[in-house]
Amino acid sequence: MIHPDIILASSSQTRKTLMDRLGIVYHCISPDIDESVQGEKHADDLARRLAFEKAKVIAEQYPDAIVIGSDQVAWRIHSPQDFIGKPLTTENAITQLMANSGQSVCFSTGLSIQHLHNGFEKTLVEHYQVKFRELNLAEIERYVALEQPLQCAGSFRCEGLGISLFESMSGNDQTTLMGLPLIQVCHLLRQLGLTIP
Residues acting as catalytic residues: 71
DSSP states along 89-118: SHHHHHHHHHHHTT-EEEEEEEEEEEEGGG
CB 130 within 8 A of CB 105: yes
Element holding 140 (H helix, E strand): helix 137-147
29 — phi, psi (to 5°)?
A: -135, 125
CB 69 within 8 A of CB 111: yes
Distance of CA 136 to the CA centre of its chain: 27
Cα distances (Å, whole numbers) of residue 81 to 39, 42, 77, 78, 94: 10, 5, 10, 9, 22
144 — phi, psi (to 5°)?
A: -60, -40
Cα distances (Å, whole numbers) of residue 104 to 36, 100, 133, 163: 24, 7, 9, 14
* DSSP label of 164: G
